[in-house]
């Protein structure tokens, strides 16, 4: 087994094909294919299902990718160490957040100190945030809870109550619900499974002897907001994320104990990365 063979495998797996891996590594496709084939022959295993148009990982290939993700992350950390004076002046930092709102006070100070660093930000629910970090698809995450998993370094950003909201006039003032039991009788617009907000609501409803059911299930807070604004039902969000939207009104339902924690997290094994460490330190300074 040679390092170049593992590198070829890793890039085919992460780039989704032999041609793309060859482009990234500035090699020919036959050279990449040969390196992967030699690795398979040496250990009598199959790493990719080649019967489809794309190179699809086998079960063994998926296990090996978890190893090479770490291998090449450590290689990147070594490169950063050699280029320490340059490492925090340029580069890429990938962030996945359940809501970008909680990062707004950190992004501007970070950009001021590191204007040449490219920030990429995508959204995902709590399950997707953790999965992306473990898969090395993101460097930093924002999660709707303080995780118990000891694999993470965690900075608690805030704690705010969850509220219900609806389009103005959707629920007459005289009929505003005052409990989870009453609010569950209305059509509800809920996030997808894996959303921490939804999990908190479902657990609380169960503790009160009722249940909540999605009349409409959608991915992402923005989609919930727009559907609720159209008058299709009632949604839920932490009060910190409610914002100022004149189409909507809050429907407090007396459940102040429904608290949403927001935490900034990264894998402990990656906390020494210069950009990750810089971002986390700025977050602490701006709590």
Domain at 182, CATH number: 3.40.190.290
Q: Which pLDDT band holds residue 59 (cuts at 50, 70, 90)?
A: very high
Q: In terms of C-beta density within 10 A (0-12 exposed, 13-18 middle, 19 or more buried), how is residue 112 classed?
A: exposed
pTM of the model: 0.60
Evaluate if residue 85 carries a pLDDT over 60: no
201 inside domain: yes
Averaged over 181-191, what is the pLDDT? 90
Evaluate if residue 232 carries a pLDDT over 90: yes
Q: Rounded to an integer, what distance in angstroms lies between the CA atom of residue 125 and that of residue 195? A: 5
Residue 228, pLDDT score: 96
Evaluate if residue 277 carries a pLDDT over 60: yes
- The CATH code of the domain that includes 270 is 3.40.190.10
**Cβ atoms of residues 102 and 158 within 8 Å:** yes
Evaluate if residue 51 carries a pLDDT over 80: no
76 inside domain: no
- What's the first-to-final CA gap in the chain, in angstroms? 48
The domain containing residue 170 runs over which residues? 158-260
- Which of 19, 42, 70 finishes a domain? 70
Q: Rounded to an integer, what distance in angstroms lies between the CA atom of residue 140 and that of residue 122? A: 11
Same domain, 176 and 123: no
Most confident region among 107-111, 193-197, 251-255 by mean pLDDT: 107-111
Q: Which pLDDT band holds residue 217 (cuts at 50, 70, 90)?
A: very high
Reduce the DSSP state of residue 28 to 3 states and report it: coil
Structure tokens at 5: 């063979």
75 inside domain: no
Q: Could you give the number of structural domains in the chain?
A: 3
Q: Rounded to an integer, what distance in angstroms lies between the CA atom of residue 153 and that of residue 127? A: 17
Evaluate if residue 48 carries a pLDDT over 70: yes
Q: Rounded to an integer, what distance in angstroms lies between the CA atom of residue 270 and that of residue 40? A: 30
Same domain, 54 and 104: no
176 inside domain: yes
Give pLDDT tens digits for 145-185: 888 888 999 999 988 888 899 999 998 877 777 788 888 88
Cβ neighbours, 10 Å, residue 133: 23
Q: Which among 286, 282, 276 is positioned nearest to 93, based on CA atoms?
A: 276
């Amino acid at each position: 087994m040679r390092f170049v063979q593992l590198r070829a495998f890793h890039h085919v797996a992460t780039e989704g094909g032999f041609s793309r891996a060859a482009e990234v590594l500035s090699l020919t496709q036959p050279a990449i294919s040969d390196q992967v084939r030699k690795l398979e022959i040496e250990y009598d295993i199959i790493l990719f299902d080649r019967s489809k148009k794309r190179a699809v990982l086998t079960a063994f290939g998926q296990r090996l990718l978890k190893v090479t993700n770490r291998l090449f992350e450590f290689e990147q950390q070594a490169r950063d160490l050699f280029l320490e004076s340059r490492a925090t002046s340029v580069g890429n930092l990938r962030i996945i957040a359940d809501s970008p709102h909680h990062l707004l006070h950190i992004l501007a100070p970070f950009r001021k100190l590191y204007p040449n660093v490219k920030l990429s930000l995508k959204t995902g629910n709590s399950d997707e945030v953790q999965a992306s970090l473990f898969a090395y698809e993101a460097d930093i995450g924002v999660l709707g809870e303080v995780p118990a998993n000891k694999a993470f370094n965690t900075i608690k950003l805030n704690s705010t109550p969850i509220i219900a909201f609806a389009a103005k006039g959707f629920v007459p003032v005289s009929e505003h619900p005052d409990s989870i039991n009453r609010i569950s009788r209305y059509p509800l617009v809920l996030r997808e499974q894996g959303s921490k907000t939804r999990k908190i609501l479902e657990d609380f409803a169960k503790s009160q002897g009722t249940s909540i059911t999605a009349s409409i299930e959608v991915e992402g807070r923005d989609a919930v907001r727009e559907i609720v604004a159209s008058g299709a039902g009632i949604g839920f969000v932490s009060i910190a994320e409610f914002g100022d939207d004149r189409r909507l009104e809050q429907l407090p339902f007396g459940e102040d104990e429904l608290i949403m924690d927001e935490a900034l997290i990264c894998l402990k094994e990656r906390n020494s990365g210069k950009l990750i460490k810089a971002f986390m330190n700025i977050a602490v300074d701006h709590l």
